[in-house]
Chains A and B, each alone.
Chain A
Amino acid sequence: MTGTVLAFRDVTLTFETEEGSVKALNGVDLDIPTGKILGVVGESGSGKSVLALSTLGLVPTPPGRYGQRSSIIFDGKDLLRIGEKELELVRGTGISMIFQEPMSSLNPVFKVGEQIAEAVRLRILRKELKQTRSVSLLESVRGVKGIDEDRVREEVLEVLRDVRISDPEDALDRYPHEFSGGMKQRVMIAMALAAKPSLLIADEPTTSLDVTTQAQILSLVKDLVLEFEVSVLFISHDLSVVSEVADEIAVMYAGRIIETNDVRSIFRDPKHPYTKGLLNAEPRLEETRKSLESLAGSVPSLLRIPGGCAFHPRCPYVFPRCEREVPALLPVGTSGEVACHLYHGEKE
């Protein structure tokens, strides 16, 4: 096991609503390994997007509230304990994010080149000039003292080439509405990478794209990870998408990580009954099955998470202990960890 870029430690996040408190994250422990792609899979409402937002301090608090013992360690700092000013320094230059909707994640009134240039300038300002402020409006028009605009332009072109945009010279001066969805997502990736972050968070980056574009973006992400030596937290509800890019997979259910393993092992030998169910619900090319099996029941409301193992009402292997005790995420077999009583302790 190599180093860890970012570590979630017992992260609990509760939203106080009028109907009661919603536990969006329920004691998440997760390490993002350096230089690898960690895929997080889960159904809607399993807490995966909130997990992504919490790394950047983008969850509004209140109504959100983190647990007393929760911490998210990045670069020796606990992101849940540092102030807004310090968070601004981590955002962009330390951790970058690619969002779900490339269509609306670009500002419609600025040229694409200018938006990427903004990220480049911010990086130079912070990492090379060691200034902690951000670029002012006047400076983004006139240029920042100490930053060579020709160099900025060169870097913008380079990063556009890196995300395989044909004719980057032309792309610079276009407005977002002149691009297709796939192109916009490439631009978003270019913006995120222009800041040369050590961690890239991709929150369902291919959801709104068609399958062909999706495949292109996925292989692009994979290539860029090697090129930029960046670690990735890749979030998706789609197992096949995650299996395409990820080195390791973490499965989330009702705000908890229930199984982690490397991609091959998780597909060959899923441990948790939920993971098994998910895999059985995926169509496969090599097998001809009459019909796909589906998981019985549906995701529990986060207002009323079942006691014990949250999956027990839907689990085919359920036994009394599951209703009483929350299973811990513990190592099992040669690799991976699972949170299931089937593998740890007596079954009684």
Chain B
Amino acid sequence: MFDQRNLIPPFVKQWYATMKLVRRQRLSYFGAVVAVVFVVISAVEGVFGAAILPYNPITSRGVPDLPPSILQWPPNLSHIFGTDPLGRDLFSQVVAAFPLDAEVAFTVIISAVLIGVWLGTMAGYEGGKLDQLIMRITDVFIAFPGIILALAIAATLGPSLIHSMEALIVVWWPKYTRLARGEALTVKSRPYVEAARAAGRSSSGIMLRHIVPNIISPIIIYATLDIGNVILNTSVLAYLGLGAQYPTPELGRMVFDFQSQLFLQPWLVLVPAMAILLIVLGFNLLGDGLRDALDPRSSRVIAAQSSAGQEGA
């Protein structure tokens, strides 16, 4: 309703200051680059489909200029990672798997954040019996080893990409509930929440307007560094045969499919495995950088934030 001059809200400025700090650390910067490249490739592929890949990841056969009788080629100029026993280009398969993993990772994280923030805010703000109820249920979920619970759920539902996603959401939300509850407890005692109560706001209004906007930044940051873990777990489920099904290219699935070739054509296993490693490492390094940058005891943070504050003012 008001004019849009000062549109940038404080948490965007905070993000900007944080990212500036992340850039100063080489490893985190590397992580950020990997994460961004991964997300961009996934997004572009999501829009244009497999058409942008050098070969069709599912139907390509052999190498046009070479004898068609031989399907499987080691890495060469036209297939930089070689081809699999069916003559499909490995590079195209690996890249084709990116949007799938990105989709799973973001769906799981966003669902977990939504459920966690909703339940955690209610538990933290309302307190009392509701808090006890929500947190005890959360404890039950946390008490299970995550991957085993996910395996059990995915196996019960039957192997498919959607089911592995659902299984991961079930495992993932409790962390965010705990995180959101803790943050909500802190924000709840701030004077502006009491002021809002004194001004006659309903408790749902206070939660949506005053609690959630003030707890969301740390949660978004935690979620960023959690993306790598989701990708890793998706791959684990796929490796165990519970994720995406043949012939859908999926990194964990590829490792599983080609593991019999490990000593004959090691690149078939190593390339998708390294891709998983790189992506997970990238998000974890980015996450480490974010955590360092947001540590209030670090003097670099104070310097960067004060300079960001001056730019903002």
Residue positions of A touching B, CB distance < 8 A: 56, 58, 88-93, 96-97, 99-101, 104-111, 113-114, 117-119, 122, 133-137, 140, 143, 149, 152-153, 172-175, 177-178, 188, 191-192, 195
Contact with A along B198-237 (1 / 0, CB 8 A): 1111100100111001100000000000000000000000
Extra contacts, 15 of them, besides A122-B201, A173-B6 (Cβ < 8 A), are: A56-B198, A58-B194, A91-B198, A93-B200, A96-B199, A100-B191, A104-B191, A105-B195, A108-B192, A134-B202, A137-B208, A137-B209, A143-B1, A175-B10, A195-B200
B192, A173: Cβ atoms closer than 8 Å = no
Per DSSP, chain B at the interface is helix
A99, B195: Cβ atoms closer than 8 Å = yes
- A sample of 30 cross-chain residue pairs with beta-carbon separation below 8 angstroms, ordered by A number, consists of A56-B198, A91-B198, A92-B199, A96-B199, A97-B195, A97-B198, A101-B191, A104-B190, A104-B191, A106-B192, A106-B195, A107-B196, A107-B213, A107-B214, A108-B192, A113-B2, A114-B2, A118-B209, A119-B199, A122-B199, A122-B200, A133-B202, A134-B202, A135-B205, A137-B208, A140-B209, A152-B1, A173-B5, A177-B10, A191-B195
Asked if B311 CB lies within 8 Å of chain A CBs, one says no
8 A Cβ contacts from B291-308 to A: none
8 A Cβ contacts from B1-57 to A: 1-3, 5-6, 9-11
**CA separation between A207 and B202, bound complex, in Å?**
29
A174: which B residues are within 8 A, CB to CB? 6
Contact with A along B85-117 (1 / 0, CB 8 A): 000000000000000000000000000000000
Q: B136: shortest Cβ distance to chain A, in Å?
A: 22
Asked if B313 CB lies within 8 Å of chain A CBs, one says yes
Given A113-B2, A177-B10, the answer on whether A58 and B197 have CB atoms closer than 8 Å is yes
Given A104-B192, A105-B195, the answer on whether A111 and B200 have CB atoms closer than 8 Å is no
B214: which A residues are within 8 A, CB to CB? 107-109
Interface size class of B (residues with CB under 8 A): 20 to 34
**CA separation between A173 and B9, bound complex, in Å?**
11
A143: which B residues are within 8 A, CB to CB? 1
A149: which B residues are within 8 A, CB to CB? 1
B205, A136: Cβ atoms closer than 8 Å = yes
Given A107-B210, A117-B1, A136-B205, the answer on whether A88 and B192 have CB atoms closer than 8 Å is no
- Within the complex, which residue of A91, A107, A172 is in contact with B2, where a contact is CB–CB below 8 Å? A172
Q: B124: shortest Cβ distance to chain A, in Å?
A: 15
- Count how many pairs of residues, one from A and one from B, have CB atoms less than 8 Å apart in the complex: 102
**CA separation between A93 and B213, bound complex, in Å?**
25
**CA separation between A153 and B11, bound complex, in Å?**
25
A188: which B residues are within 8 A, CB to CB? 195
B201: which A residues are within 8 A, CB to CB? 88, 92, 122, 134
Given A92-B200, A109-B9, the answer on whether A137 and B205 have CB atoms closer than 8 Å is yes
Q: A130: shortest Cβ distance to chain B, in Å?
A: 15
8 A Cβ contacts from B252-293 to A: none
Q: Which of B2, B191, B198 has the most CB of A within 10 A?
A: B198
Q: Which of chain A's residues has its CB closest to B213's CB?
A: A109
Q: Which of chain B's residues has its CB closest to A114's CB?
A: B2
Q: A141: shortest Cβ distance to chain B, in Å?
A: 9
**CA separation between A106 and B194, bound complex, in Å?**
10
**CA separation between A182 and B201, bound complex, in Å?**
25
**CA separation between A325 and B308, bound complex, in Å?**
64
Q: B12: shortest Cβ distance to chain A, in Å?
A: 10
B195, A88: Cβ atoms closer than 8 Å = no
Q: B16: shortest Cβ distance to chain A, in Å?
A: 15
A107, B200: Cβ atoms closer than 8 Å = no
Rank and list the top 6 A-B pairs by shortest CB-CB distance, nearest first. A92-B200, A91-B200, A92-B199, A97-B198, A137-B208, A134-B202
A175: which B residues are within 8 A, CB to CB? 6, 9-10
**CA separation between A164 and B208, bound complex, in Å?**
31
B313, A178: Cβ atoms closer than 8 Å = yes
Q: Which of B191, B199, B210, B214 has the most CB of A within 10 A?
A: B199
B6: which A residues are within 8 A, CB to CB? 111, 173-175
**CA separation between A153 and B9, bound complex, in Å?**
20
B5: which A residues are within 8 A, CB to CB? 173
A105, B205: Cβ atoms closer than 8 Å = no
A114: which B residues are within 8 A, CB to CB? 1-2
Q: Which of B2, B6, B194 has the most CB of A within 10 A?
A: B2
**CA separation between A117 and B239, bound complex, in Å?**
55
**CA separation between A56 and B198, bound complex, in Å?**
7
A91: which B residues are within 8 A, CB to CB? 197-200
8 A Cβ contacts from B164-212 to A: 190-192, 194-202, 205, 208-210
**CA separation between A208 and B49, bound complex, in Å?**
61
Q: B308: shortest Cβ distance to chain A, in Å?
A: 12
Q: Which of chain B's residues has its CB closest to A60's CB?
A: B127
Q: Which of chain B's residues has its CB closest to A52's CB?
A: B198
**CA separation between A91 and B10, bound complex, in Å?**
29
A89, B200: Cβ atoms closer than 8 Å = yes
A106: which B residues are within 8 A, CB to CB? 192, 195
